[in-house]
Chains A and B, each alone.
Chain A
Amino acid sequence: DAKTTQPTSMDCAEGRAANLPCNHSTISGNEYVYWYRQIHSQGPQYIIHGLKNNETNEMASLIITEDRKSSTLILPHATLRDTAVYYCIVRVDGSGGSNYKLTFGKGTLLTVNP
């Protein structure tokens, strides 16, 4: 799986949009971008994933650049409960290989301030 690079930490004001960047310059054509988050002392929570088109769900939006070398997770109206470590993970979907292994890096600690 491709390696990802994320900032160590970010701050965001409550009610504002939080934009979390991720670089994955070595991503392959069949690799998806996944985002998980881990709120303190809890298990990781799936947020969203995408291949090349922008994606949106009830939690967040995922913007993937045209060359797919980077992406941004957007939380449109951050709340205090969004304070967590956010992990950007690249993995191949579909059968074959060991793509079931999620490789978690250090992630970005997002702190939402009142």
Chain B
Amino acid sequence: NAGVMQNPRHLVRRRGQEARLRCSPMKGHSHVYWYRQLPEEGLKFMVYLQKENIIDESGMPKERFSAEFPKEGPSILRIQQVVRGDSAAYFCASSLSGSNNEQFFGPGTRLTVL
């Protein structure tokens, strides 16, 4: 019974490149959440998605960041034209239903922008 999977685990990009982070939720889970953890800080909510729908993206930076969760395949967090300040650990979580289920987290993707 696989947990939440994220890939890649480590990603290095140069300033101006694009970063694509993938998240496969636990089997049977249709709710996905992305969080970002900057160095020495706690996790901060970014976006909540259900299949083919963005429910809440209030934690996403207004520019360069986008997320999707297509009908088939993993959820994708996309960061265009990365800057050094985007360097962080990005965690995906999934839940069985909406608000009243605990969220199970993946191992994270550590993005380093050179």
Instruction: Tell me the A residues contacting B by CB distance below 8 Å.
Output: 34, 41-46, 49, 87, 92-107
Contacts and interface: CB of A to CB of B under 8 A. Distances in A.
A94 B108 contact: no
A44 B105 contact: yes
Given A43-B4, A98-B56, A93 B107 contact: no
Given A44-B43, A93-B99, A94-B100, A100 B48 contact: yes
Contacts of A94: 99-100
Given A42-B107, A100-B48, A95 B99 contact: yes
A106 B38 CA distance: 12
A114 B98 CA distance: 41
B108 A42 contact: yes
Interface of B: 4, 31, 33, 35, 41-45, 48, 55-56, 58-59, 91, 93, 95, 98-100, 102-108
Contacts, number: 63
Given A43-B106, A43-B108, A46-B104, 14 more contacts: A42-B107, A43-B107, A46-B102, A49-B102, A87-B42, A93-B99, A94-B100, A98-B58, A100-B98, A102-B33, A102-B35, A102-B93, A104-B35, A104-B43
B44 A104 contact: yes
B103 A95 contact: no
A54 to B, nearest CB: 18
B100 A95 contact: yes
Contact of B102 (A34, A95, A104, A105): A34
B87 to A, nearest CB: 15
A43 B105 CA distance: 6
A43 B6 CA distance: 10
